[in-house]
């Protein structure tokens, strides 16, 4: 079954949005299979955002993601990677549709509440970077 990596960033945690955000993925019908609060190291941040290394916002992005705890999650379900991206909204919250997480809660591209893997290969890489296999639970709803 398909899996994706999601992380509520420091701004989402500090604004008390974790419950609301988890609720949206639960209500949609996806299964939470991994969950932890992480004080992100610079090493993890630089690996996670490695593709943006040459971008001018990279130092600020690493500083921000390491500044306070992040809620790291793995979600499972049919089409979860693309569906989660729709639930999250586009990168810049100012352009995100109302009803999406970023559209409802943000105005600043550098404070866009949540990260979600953008494709199957990225999801696989990010899950392996943030979680050990033992930290993930295999389960299916029985109802």
For ligand CMP, the closer CB: 28 or 85:
85
Catalytic (active site) residue 48: no
SS3 27: helix
DSSP 108: B
Number of residues that bind ligand CMP (CB under 6 A): 8
61 binds ligand CMP (CB under 6 A): yes
By C-beta, is 3 or 115 nearer to ligand CMP?
115
**Contacting residues for 142 by C-beta, under 8 A, at least 6 apart:** none
Task: Spot the catalytic one: 12, 31, 34, 115.
Answer: 115
As a whole number of angstroms, the distance between CA 3 and CA 79 comes to 8
CB of 98 to ligand CMP, least distance (A): 19
Contact 118, 86 (CB under 8 A): no
CA angle 15/19/21 to nearest 5° reads 85
The footprint of ligand CMP (CB under 6 A) covers: 52, 57, 61, 91, 109-110, 112, 115
- Residues contributing to the annotated binding site for ATP: 9, 57, 85, 91, 102, 112
């Amino acid at each position: 079954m398909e899996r994706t990596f999601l992380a509520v960033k420091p701004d989402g945690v500090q604004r008390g949005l974790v419950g609301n955000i988890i609720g949206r993925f639960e209500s949609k019908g996806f299964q939470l299979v991994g969950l932890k609060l992480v004080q992100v190291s610079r090493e993890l941040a630089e690996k996670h955002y490695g593709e943006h290394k040459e971008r001018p916002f990279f130092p600020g992005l690493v500083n921000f993601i390491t500044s306070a705890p992040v809620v790291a999650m793995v979600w499972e379900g049919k089409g979860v990677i693309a569906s989660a991206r729709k639930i999250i909204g586009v990168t810049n919250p100012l352009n995100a549709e109302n009803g999406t997480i970023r559209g409802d809660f943000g105005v600043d591209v550098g404070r866009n509440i949540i990260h979600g893997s953008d494709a199957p290969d990225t999801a696989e890489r990010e899950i392996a970077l943030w979680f050990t296999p033992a930290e993930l639970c295999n389960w299916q709803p029985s109802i």
